[in-house]
Structure 1
Amino acid sequence: MIGVTTRQNQTNKQQEEVSDSMNQATEAADELYRIRDTYFTSDANDKINKLQSQSQIALNLLDSIPPEERKLASQRAMYEYLKGKILDVFPEYSKKAEDHLSKAVKLNPSLADAWLCLGNCIWKKGDLSATRNCFTLALSKGPNKRILSQLSMLERRMAQGADNQEEIVAESIKHAKEAIALDVKDGNSWYNLGNACLTCFFVTGAWDHSKLQQSLKAYQNAEKDESMKLNPDLYFNCATVNTYLENYERALSGFEAAASIDPCLNASEEVEKMINLFDKIDSLLKGQVKAKRLASLTLSLSEIQLNPSHKRATIDNLLDGLNKTIAVVGKVLFFIKHGNITPLYYLVCDSNQVCFVLTVYGISNDAIKEGDQVTLLDPYFRNNDFSWNEKHYEFRSVRVDFLEQVQVNGKPIHPRHSVRSSIYAQHKP
């Protein structure tokens, strides 16, 4: 009896040692992914070298567990899962990682984390259907916020180029919300929802500002989670939303925050492009066409006939936001070139010879030209007043989102000039 007890104690001790070793390997793998997600330098090779070094440490810890102490199927499954996860930390696809992860799910089909990791691995080689199958199988083991977020992310990727984009992105939003329902304080889930709403804004025609507002609110909730403070994509995507909402100062701050975390992002370039644009606007407004020339240019504006449904007004009459049943007639003085494709910027003067900036979305750049007369229907007005790096910018602007909101030389714009944005929220698998 004493011998049986002794052997049992030895077995228990061996299992504890195996468990301790496996826990150490698990912690090393988690640390590896923490480095992947939070360590950024100006030299991308530096990060790769750090990941290679840390992955070797994690593999050594894992392989220090003797084969005879990996006899149980559950132990072997965990070993294969961790090995595959460690090998899959790099951006490129790894056949070895897939092989180990495939073994893990065969040994223990209930290991949801292994299914999730296998899906991420297969995603890298472009097999989106197989990736979805892995995530679905992982979810079949029980509700999981990380798996739901990855599935949501995958669906946004699958939507690109698909005939039923809107339907797929709607599913992405649904799964993002399901993840939040499991943990309302999880910043990554909120970040994922923000990305889903931002993608929805673009695939539905880039006109529904409520989608941008939903995205912005989700990003703001994500920022409440301390673990998201080192996510540069959160700040970059939030800045993108603020750019489209023309919250320029917030956009600049967001891009700058993203650049400070990850110098390899093009966030600094976004700041530079925006500042160059504002400097051009400032220069044009200060060097306005002389009064006599303006008077000559705007003389014919009063001849433009308006639909009885709209009341003629000038920039000085507009209120912040949407001005329904109002029409502003202006002369296009300059097309303002800048670094981004969208929106288009023009310097326009109204019949009172007051200059303002016209921002145009969803319309090709050959629809409105310098010298054209434009009639702006239901104008969305904004008084921009902000400072950046001790320089003050102030200008009034009118935003156009639809062909129907603008007429050129008294005529509607032809539908062929309609363009559709196709920008997607940034994402790193």
Structure 2
Amino acid sequence: MSREAGGAAASSDSATEPQRHQEDGNQGVASGRTPLERTADAAEELYRLRDTFFPRDPAEKAAALRARADDALAVLDSLPPEQRKTPQQRAVYEFLRGKIFNVFPDYHKEAEDHLSKADKDETMKCNPDLYYNCATADKYLENYERALRGFEAAALKDPGLGADTEVQKIISLLDKLDSVMKGQLRFKRLASSVSSLSEVNIKSSHKKATIGILSEGLNKTVAVLGKVVLSIRHDNVAPMYYLTCDLDQSYFILSVYGLRNEAIKEGDRVALLDPFYRILDISWKEQVRNFKLFIFFSKDFIFDPYLGSANVCCQKGRTIE
């Protein structure tokens, strides 16, 4: 994230968060819990740190996450080989390893590899907790179809887990994204001054681009200039979603991790550097949804007021309820 974007910083209370997390971790070691149990606790603390710690310097958050992840992996790796032999032990081990890697804001293939191994393990067929936990990790990876399958399987095996509620949350989110993308035309007037994007100087070697020329995956050395048209409210802490249009007034869903909710506002202009582009094709219960989804992380973009003059005109404060 640019130093400017780090201005959406947290209070002094959040700046002390890593210390509190370290103290929590020490208590876990002292309790005599097994390495798998301690790693599970450490993984939960990692995600809490990611979602609640917003220091003024974004590098501080990255360093804190890396340190805590390294500690958690060290505990997991201390598990003796003989305690990784049963199918359930292997599945839990793979799941925890994948979950730890998945805490970082950039796409991490190793995270998906470990989660996929856990998902395919035969133990999953008789363990609703593992179904639920893997589905939760898939949700954060935005692998929504696989997350839906996992939550549904968990709900069938143990209704008390509340996995059916998670299914409804994902379906509700997908319905909102689908509705927003299908209703693009009514937002055309909100993007009427998108021409001001051409005046933006990002002071970077990146070449300006529109989404029409991008390929799926990571697009290095290019920058997509966009205007945030609509904030899409949903039930999860992360990611945050925005309907955004580029210089050609082509619309896409912007997915953002690692920032406070109020950091980006409707009407803001954003410079999306090295964009990671995905097209989500999701089929569930005879419904097919297709989205142009850009996953942008806090280190990869700059937004108003750091792009020059005041925000271009836009109706503020509209959200999808």
Check if 1:255 corresponds to 2:176.
no
- CA shift in 2, pair 1:176/1:335, >3 Å: farther
Count of residue pairs brought into register by the alignment: 262
Check if 1:305 corresponds to 2:201.
yes
The partner residue of 1:200 within 93, 96, 100 is 100
The partner residue of 1:131 within 32, 47, 50 is 32
Check if 1:374 corresponds to 2:270.
yes
Q: Report which of the two has the higher share of strand.
A: 2
Q: Give the aligned partner of residue 314 of structure 2.
A: none
Q: Give the aligned partner of residue 166 of structure 1.
A: 69
The one-letter code of the counterpart of 2:71 is I
Check if 1:405 corresponds to 2:289.
no
2:223 counterpart SS class: strand
Can you list the C-alpha shifts for 1:214-236, whole angstroms capped at 9, x where unaligned?
4313313xx333x4411012111
Q: Give the aligned partner of residue 131 of structure 2.
A: 235
- CA shift in 2, pair 1:307/1:259, >3 Å: same
The partner residue of 1:330 within 212, 216, 226 is 226
Listed as ranges, the matches of 1:212-227 within 5 Å are: 212-220=111-119, 223-225=120-122, 227=123
Q: Please tell me whether the aligned partners of residues 197 and 214 of structure 1 are also in contact (alpha carbons under 8 angstroms).
A: no
Q: Please tell me whether the aligned partners of residues 197 and 215 of structure 1 are also in contact (alpha carbons under 8 angstroms).
A: yes
Structure 1: segments with no counterpart, 5+ residues: 1-125, 133-149, 413-429
State the alpha-carbon separation in 2 of the partners of residues 157 and 251 from structure 1: 22
Can you list the C-alpha shifts for 1:288-323, whole angstroms capped at 9, x where unaligned?
244862662312111111334211111111111111
Q: CA deviation at 1:377?
A: 0.5
- CA shift in 2, pair 1:178/1:214, >3 Å: farther
Q: Give the aligned partner of residue 113 of structure 1.
A: none
Check if 1:386 corresponds to 2:282.
yes
State the alpha-carbon separation in 1 of the partners of residues 252 and 220 from structure 2: 19
State the alpha-carbon separation in 2 of the partners of residues 294 and 352 from structure 1: 14
Structure 2: segments with no counterpart, 5+ residues: 1-26, 47-63, 308-321
Q: Give the aligned partner of residue 88 of structure 2.
A: 188
Q: Give the aligned partner of residue 157 of structure 1.
A: 41
State the alpha-carbon separation in 2 of the partners of residues 353 and 228 from structure 1: 45
Q: TM-score, normalised by structure 1?
A: 0.56
- CA shift in 2, pair 1:160/1:271, >3 Å: closer
Q: CA deviation at 1:342?
A: 0.7
Q: CA deviation at 1:205?
A: 4.5
1:364 counterpart SS class: coil
State the alpha-carbon separation in 2 of the partners of residues 151 and 167 from structure 1: 14
Q: CA deviation at 1:167?
A: 4.5
Q: CA deviation at 1:388?
A: 1.4
Identity of aligned residues (%): 40
The higher-RCO structure (CA 8 Å, 6+ apart) is 2
State the alpha-carbon separation in 2 of the partners of residues 380 and 264 from structure 1: 37
State the alpha-carbon separation in 2 of the partners of residues 224 and 161 from structure 1: 26
The one-letter code of the counterpart of 1:346 is Y
State the alpha-carbon separation in 1 of the partners of residues 43 and 253 from structure 2: 35
2:172 counterpart SS class: helix
Q: CA deviation at 1:157?
A: 2.6
Bigger Rg, structure 1 or 2:
1
